[in-house]
Structure 1
Amino acid sequence: MEQIADAEDLAQVLRGASLRVTRPRVALLAAVHDHPHADTDTLIRAVRVALPEVSHQAVYDSLHALTGAGVLRRIQPNGSVARYEARIDDNHHHLVCRSCGAIADVDCAVGDAPCLTAAHDHGFAIEEAEVIYWGRCPTCAATSAPTP
């Protein structure tokens, strides 16, 4: 994922997606870059550091606009609240800790990975595969017994 340097770079991202540049959108985009895989509450708190007066609704509206335009990606592992990331330019996957809920990016499998190729596409034009690997992060694995 390319690094976004400043507010003007973030504004360019919005313009490139044909979105109006607003202070809440710029602050939200910066927050997602700073806090990958963050949930909505975390993002609201982060946006309020830059814009203390921003409403929950403004953040929700911005999330909706940015995900709809493909500027952000919404992920929701089973049992988790929705989370957001700015890494949208590739078909990467995620590792999720069953104990603490930590999420990490993982690049697509390389080599022969038949589970990533649909056995039958049912006429769909497949554009990406979403894979979530479940396990325990290094911290949880070192401090707890295995989960069944």
Structure 2
Amino acid sequence: MSHVPDHFEETLRKAGLRVTQPRLAVLTAVRDHPHADSTVIAESVREQLPTVSRQAIFDCLNTFADTHLVRRIQPAGSGARYELRVGDNHHHLVCRSCGAVVDVNCAVGEAPCLHTTDDHGFQIDEAEVIYWGVCPDCVAAQKVSPT
């Protein structure tokens, strides 16, 4: 696979994972389609490796999420989506109309970025913030479409 960056092989090795063509293809698909769901990722992988099963692709995604090689997000009303941007403290903006997802930096800048007045004894290490709105393309379409 000539389109796979060399660092993906190193990334897998550092995570203690074997380097396989399906794993490289899944990482490449996630890189090429940030915030995509598993269906889009599977279609992309199968363009490169037609014999890879959907289950193998799902297994790769789950393994990568568990080992923090990819981040899995799941906005309300949406299936899981995947991205390579991990290890920083960013959040997401989701369009209510078309479902587009984009990264936004944390307004506070440090994890977990939200401090509750009562943690109920939990050791909080992460807060997930999703901003909802309407993207510029959908706003423009609404202005020109008949109501």
Map 1:48-63 → 2, pairs under 5 A? 48-63=46-61
1:138 to 113, 136, 139: 136
Whose RCO is larger (CA < 8 A, sep 6+)?
Answer: 1
2:44 to 43, 46, 65: 46
Correspondence for 1:91: 89
1:101 to 99, 102, 119: 99
SS at structure 2 position matched to 1:61: helix
Map 1:58-69 → 2, pairs under 5 A? 58-69=56-67
State the alpha-carbon separation in 2 of the partners of residues 140 and 125 from structure 1: 40
**Contact 2:90-2:104 at 8 Å conserved across structures:** yes
State the alpha-carbon separation in 2 of the partners of residues 134 and 120 from structure 1: 26
State the alpha-carbon separation in 2 of the partners of residues 110 and 138 from structure 1: 25
Identity of aligned residues (%): 57
State the alpha-carbon separation in 1 of the partners of residues 65 and 44 from structure 2: 18
* Alignment gaps of 5+ in structure 2: none
SS at structure 2 position matched to 1:129: coil
Correspondence for 1:125: 123
State the alpha-carbon separation in 1 of the partners of residues 96 and 51 from structure 2: 36
State the alpha-carbon separation in 1 of the partners of residues 81 and 27 from structure 2: 13
* Alignment gaps of 5+ in structure 1: none
**Contact 1:91-1:129 at 8 Å conserved across structures:** no
State the alpha-carbon separation in 2 of the partners of residues 33 and 127 from structure 1: 26
Shift of the alpha carbon at 1:133? 0.3
TM-score by length of 2: 0.88
Could you list the runs of 4 or more consecutive aligned residues of structure 1 that deviate by over 2 angstroms after TM superposition?
5-8
User: How many residues in Structure 1 have an aligned counterpart in Structure 2?
Assistant: 138
**Matched residue type, 2:125:** E
Correspondence for 2:79: 81
**Contact 1:38-1:84 at 8 Å conserved across structures:** yes
Shift of the alpha carbon at 1:53? 1.3
Shift of the alpha carbon at 1:54? 1.0
- Measured on the aligned residues, the alpha-carbon RMSD in Å equals 1.7
Shift of the alpha carbon at 1:36? 0.5
Shift of the alpha carbon at 1:84? 0.5
Shift of the alpha carbon at 1:6? 3.9
State the alpha-carbon separation in 1 of the partners of residues 4 and 50 from structure 2: 19
**Matched residue type, 1:131:** V
